[in-house]
């Protein structure tokens, strides 16, 4: 049996030959993203189903949920497995220096993992580091499809992320993603050690977020029930925290804001002849700012993170110059449109300061001549590498996303791949600090962006995965881990692992991924939080 | 309620503005593929859940299965629906001229459909025409998400396909698709009025087809259980017939044949230095032909169709010139490699004649100088339009697939779309007879090809749909139905309809598709055939 599969593997290994001539960089452990330091220990420990228990030296609701979840994931083929008397019972020890559950940018995610014949241990400074170790440990539990058996790979791992900001933009506006789908997405992010969900909640086409202060905002829904409630937000933030994932909302202003005007038309500029989709908020009207202050004051406390994304991209600024009332206001203040935009952003800063939040804005705001406070604003660069260099030269901290557009046919320019899914290779090659010679340390990380014009619950997973695995590894692993040939089979195997966990992550080359006979994909979280758990998780920042 | 959604629809209709300047061609009926002749009748008949019954004037097992299936599909939101006393009970009459169940190329698929206040009728010459009418009727049952109600659109439809060959290539070799997944794919084809499944069963990497004559062929499996049995084939052929879909197997020889050699190495050429994946069958060995004759004689009767695809593409013909034994044989017969290939194909013709099958071969065989019998060979053109013109000029009948490569990043050359899924527009614009001036009538139709390097059960639907909807419409509808702006909302709505039927077909623009709360996608057929039904369906051709 083994021989014949070996023959097959030999045959189709030829398919992978195309990039064989790259530099060697050994990657003996089948873990994604690849850890910083790996020492193989030459043993494999046979396991029977359910033979792993996990104990921790600290008490933490958040950590215990993470542990429960992994215990449900280790053995996807429970019913088929042949229990073997010779297999071991494993007790994995988590030794964590602090029980502080604070989750914020720059939290220590490092861990040390040791598995050998008689030691099964993860050491970490924080519960979030321990979770990263748990994911690595999960991937070291290997299912052998031919033998229908499990084993645990021995290794010593020292690991930490290269980038502290590893995000995925989830667009809840172009198509409505129900709460359970968002939780399902968070599962897939956690498996990939992403640590930031950029929740693009509203856009021109819809405002799917409940407001008690301004209930008419949700007149701009795509359809009945297509609304994220306050309770939904709390559950999403709590669930993400059980993966060490920060949730950062984006309320994109003053452009991309037509949906605000469905219920509150007085918020919008009035520039006849411009398409409705391009009409921005009215920067001259004090009502705009009191409205934003009231709304942000209502919504921001639902999110625990100190960052708050106010967008700023693709403003059709000429609309302001064609609104007679705004024209008059600009003339009175001796403003040109750039000054008007500066005024708008300054007012936002006042509001954000009052609610104790740090602004994130898209980089094209800067291209309109606006200046931000460098200490309190993070710039997200989405346009191109030259603009990134400008942002850095101006002294801003930044995160990049222009490399990582999951919606584009050719994500990085005109690079052509025969097979569409091979665009993962472009993501993989796109280290955010690549070709950056000054202030590179101000690049905090990157974000994969899944803008939602052509994705809904129905096809989200298959669009994002396995391509975004390449991004997760690029942002976590060492820069030197960049050999596509070596990464390909490892990523292929992890993609199979993800599909066994319920994520529709397809293959990258001809291979065999055994899946349960009654396979189906649903769109809900692996672990269902109770109301009490949500409260406990959120009681501290 | 309606007003606010109207506002939203007005806003995002701007998104679709980009191609607004094309010629008008009214398409008032929301049906895909668009029928040949539509007359709208200004009424909508309210329906309650379960209020449609169907009766037929003829007895047919195949038809009654089709009817049962549609009856399970009309009302996807059964539990939510508010029954209305004012709604009607509808009895749809099928009036079919013949109870002959013969399915073959060129069968009459036309139908006439009339729905008005007191007539609900489909007339057809064959049960297969009636099925096409049933699919149209199904799409005329409209769910209103705001009102949570159903209605039936009134219209008169005269319809028939533009092309008689409307195929989808399903690759069972690069990744194994289990029988239930193949049946699921057939469901999705039927909804799109495709009528031919080209089942690419084997390739270099695997031979996943049971043989009782040569049991060692299945030593070339991708993994345990990754095998299509004879019973599986019979069920697939029977199930496809309940949609009027012909199933044509492809056994690709003499190239792409390395997998044959895993169990039977003596079948392969011996050309050292060539990669294993490129080694063809040995054309000089009489064993090759007796093997093929025995194997094809075993396998062909499981398929009812008179066509049988023997591949012939991408032969690495120089391998033959570098095999000392083949060299010697060629010298003895005064053959060059082209003559050797001609000899191989001639032997295939003898075998196919003995089992009463018509050959299909990929067009690159012709480019090696091989000549086929024009009466008994259908050429599948997959390379480019110039080669298509050559095939036609040489007098062959052909089907085309080079327009319709679902695996390619840029399906038609270097045509760039920002959003990858917009490649559907290229498919949509690719009428097989476009820019063909002579012998165009010899193009029988086309095939969408989903080669499987990067698709498995996990992501098949999301890769193929909704893009292949564009192909289904291109092959069925009138050539004049080619306006992307007009087709887009209709195709978007049909894609939503497909996802409600369990196919992961995503969106093409920002919209709202309500789906059941407990949405999940499984990979099995909508209707499970019993063993008796399979026998009944297959008892006649």
The predicted-structure confidence for A255-282, as pLDDT tens digits, reads as follows 999 999 999 999 999 999 999 989 999 9
**CB A374 within 8 Å of CB A418:** no
Would the CB atoms of B506 and A463 count as touching at under 8 Å?
A: yes
Q: Is the pLDDT of residue B501 over 50?
A: yes
Q: Which residue of A has its CA nearest to B173?
A: A510
Domain spans in chain A, listed from the N-terminal domain onward: 26-160
Q: What's the whole-number mean pLDDT along residues A482-504? A: 97
Q: How many CB atoms lie within 10 A of CB A115?
A: 25
Q: Is the pLDDT of residue B23 over 50?
A: no
User: Is B221 part of the contact surface with chain A (CB cutoff 8 Å)?
Assistant: yes
Does B147 participate in catalysis according to the annotation? Answer: no
Average pLDDT, chain A: 93
Would the CB atoms of A457 and B519 count as touching at under 8 Å?
A: yes
pLDDT, one tens digit per residue, over A223-240 is 999 999 999 999 999 999
Residues composing chain B: 541
User: Is A509 part of the contact surface with chain B (CB cutoff 8 Å)?
Assistant: yes
CA distance B478 to chain A (A): 27
Would the CB atoms of A14 and B276 count as touching at under 8 Å?
A: yes
- The vertex-A204 CA angle with A202 and A207, nearest 5°, equals 35
**DSSP code for B441:** G
Q: Is the pLDDT of residue B84 over 60?
A: no
Would the CB atoms of A223 and B456 count as touching at under 8 Å?
A: no
Cis omega (within 30 of 0) for bond into B240: no
**Two tokens at A520?**
């189906």
pLDDT, one tens digit per residue, over A27-40 is 999 999 999 999 99
CA distance A1 to chain B (A): 8
Position B6 confidence tier, pLDDT thresholds 50, 70, 90? very low
State residue B368 phi and psi, 5-degree precision.
-85, 5
Q: Which of B10, B408, B458, B499 to mutate to test the interface with A (most CBs of A within 10 A)?
A: B458
First to last CA, chain B: 54
Q: What's the whole-number mean pLDDT along residues B214-240? A: 97
**Two tokens at B125?**
């010459």
**CB A268 within 8 Å of CB A258:** yes
CA distance A401 to A362: 10
Note which residues in 169-208 of chain B have CB less than 8 A from chain A: 173-176, 204-206
Residues composing chain A: 541
CA distance B96 to B98: 6
Looking at beta carbons, which residues of chain A come within 8 Å of B184?
A: none
Q: Which of A456, A500, A522 to mutate to test the interface with B (most CBs of B within 10 A)?
A: A456
For A360, how many CA atoms within 13 A lie in the half-sphere containing its CB? 22
Select from B249, B314, B252, B260 the least CA-distant residue to B285: B260
User: Is B7 part of the contact surface with chain A (CB cutoff 8 Å)?
Assistant: yes
User: Is B227 part of the contact surface with chain A (CB cutoff 8 Å)?
Assistant: no
User: Is A345 part of the contact surface with chain B (CB cutoff 8 Å)?
Assistant: no
Looking at beta carbons, which residues of chain B come within 8 Å of A220?
A: 4, 7-8, 11
**CB B440 within 8 Å of CB B433:** yes
Lowest mean pLDDT among A350-354, B16-20, B168-172: B16-20
CA distance B58 to chain A (A): 37
User: Which pLDDT score, from 0 to 100, does residue A519 have?
Assistant: 86
Note which residues in 92-151 of chain A have CB less than 8 A from chain B: 145-146
Q: Is the dihedral of CA B57, B61, B63, B68 positive or negative?
A: positive
Q: Is the pLDDT of residue A158 over 60?
A: yes
Q: Which of B208, B402, B453, B509 to mutate to test the interface with A (most CBs of A within 10 A)?
A: B453
User: Which pLDDT score, from 0 to 100, does residue A19 have?
Assistant: 37
Q: Which residue of A has its CA nearest to B407?
A: A419
More confident: A13 or B267: B267
Q: How many CB atoms lie within 10 A of CB B539?
A: 9
Q: Report in angstroms the alpha-carbon separations of B343 from A282, B257, B264.
A: 78, 18, 22
CA distance B508 to B503: 15
CA distance A469 to B110: 48
Q: How many CB atoms lie within 10 A of CB A301?
A: 12
* A26-160 placed in CATH 3.90.1150.10: no
Q: Which residue of B has its CA nearest to A465?
A: B459
Q: Which residue of B has its CA nearest to A219?
A: B4
Position A86 confidence tier, pLDDT thresholds 50, 70, 90? low
Looking at beta carbons, which residues of chain A come within 8 Å of B275?
A: 14, 17
Would the CB atoms of A5 and B454 count as touching at under 8 Å?
A: no
Position A24 confidence tier, pLDDT thresholds 50, 70, 90? low
Looking at beta carbons, which residues of chain A come within 8 Å of B408?
A: 418-420
More confident: B85 or A323: A323
pLDDT, one tens digit per residue, over B266-321 is 999 999 999 988 999 999 999 999 999 999 999 999 999 999 999 999 999 999 99
Nearest to A462 among B8, B15, B462 (CB): B462
Task: Please report the ipTM that was assigned to this predicted complex.
Answer: 0.94
User: Is A521 part of the contact surface with chain B (CB cutoff 8 Å)?
Assistant: yes
Looking at beta carbons, which residues of chain B come within 8 Å of A509?
A: 453-454
Position B2 confidence tier, pLDDT thresholds 50, 70, 90? very low
Lowest mean pLDDT among A78-92, B162-176, B203-217: A78-92
Position A16 confidence tier, pLDDT thresholds 50, 70, 90? very low
Position B19 confidence tier, pLDDT thresholds 50, 70, 90? very low
Owner of token pair 């346009």: A383
Would the CB atoms of A224 and B146 count as touching at under 8 Å?
A: yes
Position B21 confidence tier, pLDDT thresholds 50, 70, 90? very low
Note the CATH architecture for domain B37-159.
2-Layer Sandwich (3.30)
Nearest to B205 among A410, A510, A513 (CB): A510
**DSSP code for A455:** -
Would the CB atoms of B513 and A417 count as touching at under 8 Å?
A: no
Note which residues in 8-37 of chain A have CB less than 8 A from chain B: 8, 10-12, 14-15, 17
Q: Where are the alpha helices (DSSP H) in A96-143?
A: 127-140
User: Which pLDDT score, from 0 to 100, does residue B87 have?
Assistant: 65
Collect all residues with Cβ–Cβ distance below 8 Å to B510 and sequence separation of at least 6: A173, A174, A175, A205, A206, A222, A452, A453, B12, B15
Q: What's the whole-number mean pLDDT along residues A459-476? A: 98
* pTM (two decimals): 0.95
Would the CB atoms of B258 and A459 count as touching at under 8 Å?
A: no
User: Is B276 part of the contact surface with chain A (CB cutoff 8 Å)?
Assistant: yes
3-class state of residue B384 by DSSP: coil
Q: Which of A454, A495, A508 to mutate to test the interface with B (most CBs of B within 10 A)?
A: A454
Q: Which residue of A has its CA nearest to B412?
A: A418
* Active site members of A: 314
Q: Is the pLDDT of residue A406 over 60?
A: yes
Note which residues in 407-466 of chain A have CB less than 8 A from chain B: 407-410, 414, 416-423, 452-459, 461-463
Looking at beta carbons, which residues of chain A come within 8 Å of B276?
A: 10-11, 14
Would the CB atoms of A11 and B422 count as touching at under 8 Å?
A: no
**CB A32 within 8 Å of CB A473:** yes
User: Is A257 part of the contact surface with chain B (CB cutoff 8 Å)?
Assistant: no
Q: Which residue of B has its CA nearest to A522?
A: B520
CA B198 to chain CA mean position, Å:
7
Would the CB atoms of B463 and A462 count as touching at under 8 Å?
A: yes
User: Which pLDDT score, from 0 to 100, does residue A13 have?
Assistant: 42
Q: What's the whole-number mean pLDDT along residues B96-118? A: 97
User: Is B483 part of the contact surface with chain A (CB cutoff 8 Å)?
Assistant: no
3-class state of residue A38 by DSSP: strand
State residue A21 phi and psi, 5-degree precision.
-90, 15
Would the CB atoms of B146 and A223 count as touching at under 8 Å?
A: yes
């Amino acid at each position: 049996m083994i021989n014949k599969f070996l023959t097959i593997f030999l045959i189709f290994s030829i398919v992978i030959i195309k990039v064989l001539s790259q530099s060697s960089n050994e990657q003996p452990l089948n873990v994604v993203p690849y850890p910083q330091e790996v020492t193989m220990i030459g043993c494999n420990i046979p396991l029977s189903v359910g033979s792993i228990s996990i104990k921790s030296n600290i008490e933490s609701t958040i950590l215990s949920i993470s542990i429960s979840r992994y215990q449900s994931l280790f053995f996807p083929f429970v019913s088929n497995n042949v229990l073997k008397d010779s297999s071991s019972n494993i007790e994995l020890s988590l030794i964590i220096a602090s029980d502080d559950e604070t989750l914020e940018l720059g939290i220590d995610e490092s861990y040390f993992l040791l598995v050998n014949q008689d030691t099964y241990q993860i050491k970490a400074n924080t519960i979030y580091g321990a979770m990263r170790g748990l994911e690595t440990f999960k991937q070291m539990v290997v299912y052998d499809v031919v033998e229908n058996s499990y084993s645990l790979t021995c290794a010593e791992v020292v690991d930490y992320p290269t980038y502290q900001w590893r995000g995925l933009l989830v667009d809840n506006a172009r198509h409505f993603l129900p709460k359970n789908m968002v939780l399902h997405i968070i599962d897939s992010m956690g498996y990939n050690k992403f640590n930031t969900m950029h929740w693009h909640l509203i856009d021109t086409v819809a405002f799917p977020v409940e407001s008690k202060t301004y209930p008419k905002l949700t007149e701009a829904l795509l359809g009945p029930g297509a609304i994220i409630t306050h309770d939904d937000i709390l559950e999403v933030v709590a669930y993400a925290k059980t993966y060490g994932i920060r949730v950062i909302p984006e309320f994109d202003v003053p452009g991309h804001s037509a949906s605000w005007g469905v219920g509150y038309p007085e918020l919008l500029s009035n520039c006849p002849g411009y398409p409705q989709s391009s009409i921005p908020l009215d920067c001259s009207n004090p009502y705009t700012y009191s409205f934003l202050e009231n709304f942000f004051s209502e919504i921001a406390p639902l999110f625990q993170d100190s960052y708050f994304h106010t967008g700023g991209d693709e403003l059709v600024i000429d609309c302001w110059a064609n609104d007679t009332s705004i024209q008059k206001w600009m003339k009175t203040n001796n403003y040109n449109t750039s000054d008007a935009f500066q005024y708008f952003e300054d007012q936002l800063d006042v509001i954000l300061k009052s609610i104790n939040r740090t602004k994130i804005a898209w980089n094209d705001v800067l291209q309109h001549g606006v200046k931000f406070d460098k200490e309190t604003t993070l710039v997200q660069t989405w346009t191109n590498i030259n603009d990134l260099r400008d942002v850095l030269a101006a002294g801003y901290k930044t995160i990049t996303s222009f490399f990582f557009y999951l919606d584009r046919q050719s994500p990085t320019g005109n690079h052509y791949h025969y097979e569409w899914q091979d665009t993962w290779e472009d993501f993989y090659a796109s280290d955010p600090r690549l070709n950056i010679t000054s202030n590179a340390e101000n690049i905090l990380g990157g974000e994969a962006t899944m803008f939602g014009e052509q994705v809904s619950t129905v096809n989200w997973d298959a669009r994002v995965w396995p391509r975004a695995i390449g991004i997760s590894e690029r942002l976590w692993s060492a820069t030197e881990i960049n050999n596509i040939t070596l990464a390909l089979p490892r990523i292929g195997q992890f993609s199979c692992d993800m599909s066994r966990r319920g994520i529709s992550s397809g293959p990258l080359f001809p291979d065999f991924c055994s899946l349960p006979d009654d396979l189906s994909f649903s769109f809900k979280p692996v672990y269902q939080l109770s109301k009490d758990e949500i409260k406990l998780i959120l009681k501290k920042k």
